[in-house]
Amino acid sequence: MFNLEGKIAAITGGGSGIGKAIAELFASQGAEVFILELNEATGEETVKNILSKGGKAKAFTCNVAEQTQVKDVFAAIVNESNRVDILVNCAGISHIGRLENTTEADFDRIFAVNVKGVYNAMAGVILHMKKQGGGVILNLASIAGSIGIADRFAYSMSKGALISMTFSVAQDYVADNIRCNCISPARVHTAFVDGFLKKNYAGKEEEMFEKLSKVQPIGRMGKPEEIAALALYLCSDEAAFVTGTDYPIDGGYIRLRN
C-alpha cells in the first residue's frame, strides 16, 4: 500500500519542516521528487538525504510568489519527466499580529507567499495534469484557516483562502481526474517553532514550549513525520475516492478543547 513507484512529485517548501518530511517519505515510497525551495542550501540538503538512501530527487531554487519562476520550473520538470503526478504545496510563511498591528506590507507579504504562491504552483501544473489524464494536488493549510486563533489575523486569512481554493479546484477539475485536498495541522514541532521561542522567549524556551504543547488536548505538538504520513495517504492511489476535503490533524484541538 501507498506505493508511489513511478510517480513524479513536486513539493514546494521541501527544504525544511513538514515539506522536508513529505519529500523524504514520498521518495522512500518510490516517487521521484522535485523540490521547489527558496533556500537553495536547504533544498539541496533534502536532495542529498534522499539520494543517500537510494531515492530520486532534484531541487530547484524558486520563489513561489513569482509566477514566471514557478511556471519555468514546472516546464523544466515536464520536459525532463514528461509528467507531474503529484503537487504538494508546503511553502509558506507565518505572521503574528492582530488587524490593528498588521501593516499593509505584512499583509501583502503573507498573501504573496501563502495565497498567490499556491495559486502559482497549481496554475503551473493544472494544464499538464489535464493533458496527461489526471493528478493529485495537496495543499498545506492550517486550523487557523477555519477557526479563530488569537494574534494570527493575516496568517489565518491566507490559510482560509487556501482552503477555499482547494475546494474550488476539486470542484472544477473532478471530471479531469484531478483530485485536490488540503491538510490543516495544529501546531507542529519544527525548527521554525524553536527559532520563534528563541527569538521571543529567550531563557524561557522550555517553559513556553511546554505551554504551547499543551494547547493541543493530546498534550503535545505534532511531528512533521505525522503530517507526512497523512499526505502520503492522500496522494496515493489508496485515496482515489477522496477529493474536495480539508483534513484537520490537530491533536484534538478543534473538537476537544474546553
- pLDDT, tens digit, 9 for 90 and up, residues 26-49: 999 999 999 999 999 999 999 999
**Residues identified as active-site:** 155
104-108: average pLDDT: 97
> Using CA atoms, how far apart are residues 115 and 142, in angstroms rounded to an integer?
13
Q: For 88-100, what is the mean pLDDT?
A: 95
Question: What local confidence, expressed as pLDDT, does residue 18 receive?
Answer: 98
CATH H superfamily, domain 8-186+222-249: NAD(P)-binding Rossmann-like Domain (3.40.50.720)
Give me the residue spans of the domains in the chain: 8-186+222-249, 187-221
The pLDDT assigned to 195 comes to 86
The predicted model gives 56-73 an average pLDDT of 98
Q: What pTM was computed for the model?
A: 0.96
Instruction: Provide the Cα torsion 131, 46, 232, 96; round to 10°.
Output: -100
Task: Answer yes or no: are the C-beta atoms of 217 and 251 closer than 8 Å.
Answer: yes
**Using alpha carbons only, how large is the chain's radius of gyration in Å?**
18
Dihedral pair phi/psi, residue 10, rounded to 5°: -105, 130
Sequence-separated contacts (24+) of 204-207 with Cβ below 8 Å:
none
How many whole angstroms separate alpha carbon 225 and alpha carbon 107?
30
Q: Work out the mean pLDDT of the chain and round it to a whole number.
A: 96
Assess contact for 95 and 152: CB atoms under 8 A.
Answer: yes
* Interval 225-239: pLDDT, tens: 999 999 999 999 999
Lowest mean pLDDT among 19-33, 64-78, 159-173, 201-215: 201-215
Q: Is the pLDDT reported for residue 17 higher than 90?
A: yes
As a whole number, mean pLDDT of residues 162-189 equals 98
